[in-house]
Amino acid sequence: MFAYLEILRINVCILAVLGLLVGSIISGALYFPTLVLYAVIATFFICGSGDVINDYFDYKIDKINKPYRPLPSGRISRKNALIYFILLVLVGLTFALMVSIPFLIIATFNLLVVVAYPWRLKKIPLVGNMAVSYLAISTYLAAGLIVGSFSSLFASPLLILVLICFFGVLSREIFKSIEDTEGDKKLKLKTLPIVIGKGKSTLLARIFLFIGIVLLILPYYYKIFSDWYLIAVLPSIFICIYVLLRSEARKAQKTLKVVMYLVILAFLVGVLTK
């Protein structure tokens, strides 16, 4: 039984749920607690299904790199993992349907991405990085669809948060690929730094990070949030500028992970003080 919990990567599922709750605060969906509860359950199960299918496709690689994982260790068979994946999907989509049709649509789309990523997308330079970045920010989008529509997202601060986090995570993913270059070469993977080189990959990562920095200023520039947001977001801006100008790949990807939490905190300050 423990193996079936382990393969879910519960810590990852909890982070996805926290992202949904933060998005619910920003979008105002928390005023509808029953729908938020259904959305939380759907998010947990769909995120968990993604972790299961990822291990299913990474079985051969994990036998070398992570033989202790449930599948390569033999604690769960690949057939049972596939059945487990289907059950998780059915539960997740059932609860997504109970939230709203727009929420069901994004839940279904996310499900397609989590299957396509380990199956095909992760093997395509940059596209794989973009898929991971999208999945990382998709819970914020989903939160805006608990009681809203796709068109209403364009009038919500959530859209700016989504774009900021997307470019921030994309930059971090590229820095992470640069750090992992030597190991990826041994596994004969075609990551972005291996295909175009570390120098060009670093430049691209910095360009995406610069876009994220510019977007951080927009909520204050367009008076979406008050001065309190500016005060709260300044540490994130200064840290990003430091990473942009001086930090190497290993330190950059770890620093940007912390910055993502600081950005979310700044948005919460902005929403609660506007």
DSSP string, 102-121: HHHHHHHHHHHHHHHHHHTG
Asked whether 243 and 167 are in contact (CB, 8 A), the reply is: no
Backbone angles phi, psi at 147, to 5 degrees: -125, 0
Looking at the chain, which runs of residues are DSSP E strands?
Answer: none
Residue intervals in the chain for CATH 1.10.357.140: 1-155
SS3 145: coil
Question: Which tokens is 182 given?
Answer: 């030597």
Place of tokens 């259904």: 38
- Burial (CB < 10 A; 0-12, 13-18, 19+), residue 221, is exposed
Supply the DSSP symbol for 76. Answer: S
Mean pLDDT by 10 residues, the chain (274 residues): 86 89 91 96 95 87 79 89 95 97 96 91 90 92 93 87 93 89 76 91 94 94 90 95 82 86 91 86
Q: What is the pLDDT of residue 32?
A: 96
* Residue 20 CA: distances (Å) to CA of 15, 23, 24, 99: 9, 5, 6, 13
Helix (H) or strand (E) holding 147: none
Q: How far apart are CA 72 and CA 52, in angstroms?
A: 13
Domain 1-155 has CATH 3.40.190.150: no
Give residue 190's pLDDT: 83
Q: Which residue has the tokens 């909520």?
A: 219
77 CA to centre of own chain = 28
| Alpha-carbon distance values, 128 to 25, 86, 93, 120, 178 (Å) | 30, 23, 24, 8, 14
DSSP classification of residue 122: G
Rounded to 5 degrees, what are φ and ψ at 154? -70, -20
The whole model's pTM is what?
0.88
The predicted structure's pLDDT at residue 247: 67
Question: Hey, how many other C-beta atoms are within 10 angstroms of the C-beta on 234?
Answer: 14
